[in-house]
Chain A
Amino acid sequence: MKRVFFLLPLLLFAVVAAYFYWGLDPERDPNAIPVQMVDKPIPDFELPPVEGAGVPGLSRTRLSDAPDTDAQVRLVNVFASWCVPCRAEHPILTRLAERDDVVLYGVNYKDNPADAVDWLEKLGNPYTAIGSDPKGTGAIAWGIRGVPETFIIDSDGRIRHHHIGPIHATDVDSTILPMIEELSR
């Protein structure tokens, strides 16, 4: 019986070492933070339009009522003209926005309105409405940590997916399209 006590340190170390081994998995990103917004309603926010962009601003009411569309699926994309990966995902978003069952909204994050308008003119504007968020506080209402990030919202106004980072073509096939098709059914 007494000997069991002498084994305790070894057993405790074995447990700790097992955790360490688990933690070394190269697939594990110690910096990743789990997403929180999925299955939550659209957060309360209200952002004015980007001056000169020619589309209205964005707010919770506008998102949940969606007066400008019959589409079942709403995408909200946080972008900025200074953000290089945003440029990479722009054509992918444009193609998604062309679908009948999808409407794309934008949050223009900490941008200069003139730069944003230039950017949209050059690359095309796939957004039905864009909220201007010069201070970044609107984006915090969405729980974002950087740009670009994209949310998928269903017709009940519930967030169904939160994508961190640029959307790659592979993401479209693996998660975005299946999700859109499921929601527009």
Chain B
Amino acid sequence: MIAEIGHFALILALAVAIAQGSLPMLGAARGQARLMAMAKPASLMQAACVLAAFLALMHAYVTSDFTVANVVANSHSAKPLLYKITGVWGNHEGSMVLWVLILAVFGAAVALFGGNLPPSLKARVLAVQAWIAIGFLSFTLFTSNPFERVFPPPANGNDLNPLLQDPGLAFHPPMLYLGYVGFSMAFAFAVAALIEGRVDAAWARWVRPWTLAAWSFLTAGIALGSWWAYYELGWGGWWFWDPVENVSFMPWLLGTALLHSAVVVEKRDALKVWTILLAILTFSLSLIGTFIVRSGLLTSVHAFATDPERGVYILALLGIAIGGSLALFAIRAPALKAGGLFAPVSREGALVLNNLLLATATATVFLGTLYPLFLEAFGAGKVSVGPPFYNRTFVPIMAPLLLFMAAGPLMPWKRADLRGVLSRLKFAFAAAAIVALGTLYLKSGGPVLAIPAMALAAWLFFGTLSEWAERVKLFRAPLGQSLQRAANLPRAQYGMTLAHAGLAIAVAGMVGSAAWKSEEVTTLSIGESLQVAGYTYTLQDVSQLRGPNYEATVASFLVTRDGREVAVLHPEKRFYPVQAMPTTEAAIHSTGLADLYAVIGEPAGGGWTVRIYHEPLVPWIWAGALVMVAGGFLSLSDRRLRVGAPSRRSRRRQRPSPAPA
């Protein structure tokens, strides 16, 4: 019964979305306030309906309702409650419901908090949002109905893929979708602005918080996925350039560019056409990601159970959404008026460089991901594009980005004096030099490139701090005054400082992982020990353990350094009988500077195969990502970006602004 209610709610949501996508748009075109006003109740209603469907599906999972085919395929009565809940989105159909739920919630948020948006813009944004909802609700209903029943119901389910039964991965998809789908807001604003024929500072101020929210969630989602890979796959890798990783990374890269170019629109009324294009392309890449993951187009270890029919449906949606918006762009964008002027060396110029490099990086990942398909289509054989390609192309694009990133925020708007900026980076330069020498001294055996790479991370980190110190006049004004200034700095300012510093920290972690990782693979008997990077690992015990729906072999390693105990590690090797699948659960002890990483393998020669990894600086990757996300949310909490925006804005909007030609 409840499953039918869920199904019905989904159908109702589609009907509501159709109304929401047409009437307010009509109202905006004709200037009819009552039609435009429909958008708000409709989007709330749509969100309520999708939420009801989502809860109905969750109910089926929690109660292990094996009359629902989707539950049979992805759940099991012995599965822990947490994974019954997260199992809802651990499959194609359920994750689509989550996808449309997040879409509807974002729409409802605009309806609720967009009180002071111009009514026509608000009506159009919500209508565009509804178009996307129509596409994906119909896709879910017609090709991927999660509420289908099965008769006769089996006694138990097939269980969830054991790799997904993990806290890190359980919350990875919702975060990722909040990011992916969040970019739909920027997209809806861009399309609405093209229809209105008007882009101004107020528009940018509206787009920025949504983009920032999406970006923060996507950062968190990608970091969570990478962290999961790191501890779950059992060899300490954290990024693989797999197509499915790439399709989440491309919207992140371009979304980062969008975040920066929107600042230029907001503050300087320039780069408007480019920003609109970025907003369209960022969400387009999210859609392309959804398509690639669910169509079976590329081989990836991940990929949902795929079906070409679904692929064709999503491709048609892609054609309408991306093709339509880009056609609209081609027609309307040339009429947008250019805005403020600036010199090449200026804050705006620095942001243009940021956009150029990030767009190139996105294009690189795009080429690498899809090139095998292009070649295959030409019958030119099959190639593989793996990490060595990205190391030679993507990394060289990122290096100058990091280099200029330290200087960008120090540049004034309109026109900057490069020498002046550089002179204010003296301290950062000195710090980078010290880090380079320190690296050379401490790690003389490692790869040579690691030295400039570490220096680059230090340069960015201390350059970012210098910028903050300069703003508060640290050491140049009395301390009290500096504190006062620090307290007065807007949160968005701190957000930027945190995000940039977080990236520097993460980069240091990536360099550490790439350059100085050490690994030992050997066979140990109980009581034997092994030395890795100055730590002694003694295998003390191996025992068997029964989990709720798995059997585990648990090892116990005593880790000592210079005779002192550092940690006891308990890596596990699990076997999930329902899916007949083994997993490894690495045990990790983080010292803050490095991870001590242990994995237990098969019994061999009277002992056990063990893998011990020493991962220098790797915890910084996720610490840095966390700082970046914190920066994003801190910035979101800024009064200036608050969704309920300041009332002064209405006055400003009366200023003559670029009108459609």
A interface list, Cβ under 8 A from B: 2-3, 6-7, 9-10, 13-14, 16-17, 19-26, 30-31, 33-34
**Distance between Cα atoms of A14 and B324 in the complex (Å):** 11
Overall SS of chain A's interface: helix
CB atoms of B326 and A3 under 8 A apart: no
B377 CB–A CB distance under 8 Å: yes
CB atoms of A6 and B377 under 8 A apart: no
- The residue that A24 contacts in the complex, of B277, B315, B319, B327, with Cβ under 8 A, is B315
CB atoms of B299 and A21 under 8 A apart: no
Overall SS of chain B's interface: helix
CB atoms of A34 and B323 under 8 A apart: no
B275 CB–A CB distance under 8 Å: no
Residues on B with beta carbons closer than 8 Å to the beta carbon of A17 = 315, 318-319, 322-323
B311 CB–A CB distance under 8 Å: yes
CB atoms of B284 and A13 under 8 A apart: yes
**Distance between Cα atoms of A20 and B354 in the complex (Å):** 30
What is the distance, in angstroms, from A3's C-beta to the closest C-beta of chain B? 5
B297 CB–A CB distance under 8 Å: yes
Evaluate whether A3 and B334 lie within 8 angstroms (CB atoms) in the complex, with A13-B284, A34-B382 already known: yes
CB atoms of B299 and A31 under 8 A apart: yes
Residues on B with beta carbons closer than 8 Å to the beta carbon of A14 = 323
Evaluate whether A6 and B329 lie within 8 angstroms (CB atoms) in the complex, with A24-B311, A26-B308 already known: yes
CB atoms of B330 and A24 under 8 A apart: no
In chain B, positions 265-324 with a C-beta closer than 8 Å to chain A are: 273, 277, 280-281, 284, 288, 291, 295-299, 308, 311-312, 315, 318-319, 322-323
- The residue that B323 contacts in the complex, of A10, A22, A25, A31, with Cβ under 8 A, is A10
What is the distance, in angstroms, from B449's C-beta to the closest C-beta of chain A? 33
CB atoms of A19 and B315 under 8 A apart: no
Known: A10-B329, A21-B315. 19 other contacts (CB 8 A): A3-B330, A6-B329, A6-B334, A7-B330, A9-B277, A9-B281, A9-B330, A17-B323, A19-B370, A19-B377, A20-B297, A20-B315, A23-B297, A23-B298, A24-B295, A24-B311, A24-B312, A24-B315, A25-B308
Residues on A with beta carbons closer than 8 Å to the beta carbon of B277 = 9
What is the distance, in angstroms, from A135's C-beta to the closest C-beta of chain B? 17
B interface list, Cβ under 8 A from A: 273, 277, 280-281, 284, 288, 291, 295-299, 308, 311-312, 315, 318-319, 322-323, 326-327, 329-330, 333-334, 370, 373-374, 376-377, 381-382
What is the distance, in angstroms, from B299's C-beta to the closest C-beta of chain A? 5
Evaluate whether A30 and B298 lie within 8 angstroms (CB atoms) in the complex, with A9-B326, A23-B373 already known: yes
What is the distance, in angstroms, from A23's C-beta to the closest C-beta of chain B? 5
CB atoms of A24 and B281 under 8 A apart: no
Residues on A with beta carbons closer than 8 Å to the beta carbon of B315 = 17, 20-21, 24
CB atoms of B311 and A13 under 8 A apart: no
Residues on A with beta carbons closer than 8 Å to the beta carbon of B330 = 3, 6-7, 9-10
CB atoms of B334 and A34 under 8 A apart: no
Q: Can you list 19 pairs linking A and B with CB atoms under 8 Å apart?
A: A6-B273, A6-B330, A9-B330, A13-B323, A13-B326, A17-B318, A17-B319, A20-B295, A20-B315, A23-B297, A23-B373, A23-B377, A24-B295, A24-B297, A30-B297, A30-B299, A33-B382, A34-B381, A34-B382
**Distance between Cα atoms of A10 and B318 in the complex (Å):** 12
Residues on B with beta carbons closer than 8 Å to the beta carbon of A33 = 382
- The residue that A13 contacts in the complex, of B308, B322, B333, B377, with Cβ under 8 A, is B322
**Distance between Cα atoms of A185 and B580 in the complex (Å):** 52
Residues on B with beta carbons closer than 8 Å to the beta carbon of A25 = 308
**Distance between Cα atoms of A99 and B373 in the complex (Å):** 42
Residues on B with beta carbons closer than 8 Å to the beta carbon of A20 = 291, 295, 297, 315, 318
What is the distance, in angstroms, from B426's C-beta to the closest C-beta of chain A? 42
What is the distance, in angstroms, from B332's C-beta to the closest C-beta of chain A? 9
CB atoms of A16 and B370 under 8 A apart: yes
Evaluate whether A22 and B333 lie within 8 angstroms (CB atoms) in the complex, with A10-B327, A17-B318 already known: no
Residues on B with beta carbons closer than 8 Å to the beta carbon of A23 = 295, 297-298, 373, 376-377
Q: Which residue of chain B has the shortest Cβ distance to A15 in the bound complex? A: B374
Q: Which residue of chain A has the shortest Cβ distance to B328 in the bound complex? A: A10
Residues on B with beta carbons closer than 8 Å to the beta carbon of A30 = 296-299
Highest count of chain B CB atoms <10 Å: which of A30, A31, A34: A30
CB atoms of A24 and B308 under 8 A apart: yes
What is the distance, in angstroms, from B257's C-beta to the closest C-beta of chain A? 15
Evaluate whether A6 and B333 lie within 8 angstroms (CB atoms) in the complex, with A20-B291, A21-B315 already known: yes
CB atoms of B326 and A10 under 8 A apart: yes
What is the distance, in angstroms, from B369's C-beta to the closest C-beta of chain A? 11
The 10 closest A-B pairs by CB, nearest first: A10-B326, A26-B308, A6-B330, A24-B311, A23-B297, A7-B330, A30-B299, A9-B326, A24-B308, A22-B377
What is the distance, in angstroms, from A30's C-beta to the closest C-beta of chain B? 5
Q: Which residue of chain A has the shortest Cβ distance to B374 in the bound complex? A: A19
Residues on B with beta carbons closer than 8 Å to the beta carbon of A7 = 330
